[in-house]
Chain A
Amino acid sequence: MERRNFLKVMAAGATIVAVNPSLIRGNLYADDGRLYTAYEKAQIVDASGNPIKVSALEKEVTYIFNYPYASTPCMLINLPEPTQQDITLKSEMGEEYIWKSGVGKERTVVAYSAICAHQLTHPTPNDSFIKYVPKSKPTMAYKKSGIIVCSSHMSAYDGGAGAKVLAGAASQPLAAVMLEVAADETIWAVGVLGSDKFQDYFRAFKPEFKEFYSGIAQAKQLVSISAKTVKLTEYSKEIIQY
């Protein structure tokens, strides 16, 4: 390649990446990159630090891991049925984005921010009012189960459709954590799609961060390399679900 052409290619590449930084990782989860933020790729591991394989995830169990920040809890769920595909969702600001689907052989594995889009209810080591409600368990929040419910104000989200709002006061879906499954079945979190509410969360729960993370600076540290994942029943002392 001639020097001039090489420089042109480099300049064009740099411009594209500047306009859309998520391209630098070679993946684009929203059709046009809107509301997608790429974070450092983190492997989903168990409490002992061993990688969790996608086939080892129990069906309809809520797992919790913190991503992309040390204090931002996310739910990992292996749904009983394949998820829908290419769901168009809308943030409360009216921005549209597309959630592609779950991952794994049957497209059943999904991950979402566990910070409710309504009033930021989230699991803590003390308690949790938000969880996936298995199909066999009733909920007061919606006519059918197999959904994510925040029992604070009864918001219901469809985990099989990008956490679209089904009922309640939430004005937008839960932010989705983008997952990748490697050939060896290990699971990796790579970014967040949707309106994530992380900054509102950091502002609102400062005193809680002092209690659980020694302070706001520690709470805001980005997760790196791996994300420890445990069942919600192990993460929170008490789980409340209506």
Chain B
Amino acid sequence: MKKVLTVLALASLLVGSVNGSENNDPRLELMKDMRTMLDSMEQIQRGGLYSSTDDMKAGVKKLQGTLNVLESEQIKVILPKDQVYAYKFAQKTASMLRLYSDDMIASIEAGRMDDALEDYTQLLKQCTSCHIRIRNW
């Protein structure tokens, strides 16, 4: 029984340490942020298609919440090794995402929905542009 308890304790410690190191891995954080970005883009699109400016604004807020890491020097740690040199490009993409998403809010509030949907197109273009570059499409 003592042996079983010792093995269980060691196993739980091992699992804990693996989870801990995973939680500290910034690349996992990036993957999480990317999923959030995808969700936010879907939410903006849904808002545009269902004429829900609230959904669009919520999507923008969610999207902007992911940009700080991309805009910071931390981006160097999370990019694929062969693309670290291109971190300035990723930062530029993040700043363009901020620019277009800020403009989307301004356009929605001014009732210029054509402009807001054009901003959505440009946001999507920024996403694909960065994926072409960083993921070597």
Tell me which residues across on chain B come within 8 A of A119, comparing CB atoms. 125, 129
A152, A206, A207: the one contacting B102 at CB < 8 Å is A207
Closest 10 pairs between A and B when the two form their complex, measured CB to CB: A207-B103, A240-B88, A207-B99, A119-B129, A153-B133, A204-B122, A207-B100, A153-B132, A152-B89, A127-B92
Q: CB distance A206 to B115 under 8 Å? A: yes
Are B85 and A242 in contact (CB-based, < 8 A)? yes
On whether A152 and B129 interact (CB within 8 A), knowing A129-B89, A129-B92, A206-B118, the answer reads yes
Q: How far is B129's CA from A207's CA once the two chains are assembled, in angstroms? A: 18
Tell me if A101 counts as interface (CB < 8 A to partner B): no
Majority DSSP secondary structure for residues of B touching A: helix
Q: Which residue of A has the minimal Cβ distance to B98?
A: A207
Instruction: Offer 16 A-B interface pairs, CB within 8 angstroms, sorted by A.
Output: A119-B125, A152-B89, A153-B133, A204-B122, A204-B125, A206-B103, A206-B118, A207-B99, A207-B100, A207-B103, A207-B119, A211-B99, A240-B88, A240-B92, A242-B85, A242-B86
Question: What is the interface of chain A, defined by CB distance below 8 A to chain B?
Answer: 119, 127, 129, 151-153, 169, 203-204, 206-208, 210-211, 238, 240, 242
- Distance from B87 Cβ to chain A, minimum over Cβ atoms (Å): 10
A106 to chain B, nearest CB (A): 35
Q: B2 to nearest A CB, angstroms?
A: 61
List residues of chain B with CB within 8 A of the CB of A151.
89
Nearest chain-B residue to A169 (Cβ)? B132
A127, A152, A207, A211, most chain B CB atoms within 10 A: A207
Instruction: Give A154 Cβ to nearest chain B Cβ, in Å.
Output: 8
Least Cβ–Cβ distance between B27 and chain A, in angstroms: 22
Task: List, in ascending order, chain A residues with CB within 8 A of B89's CB.
Answer: 129, 151-152, 240
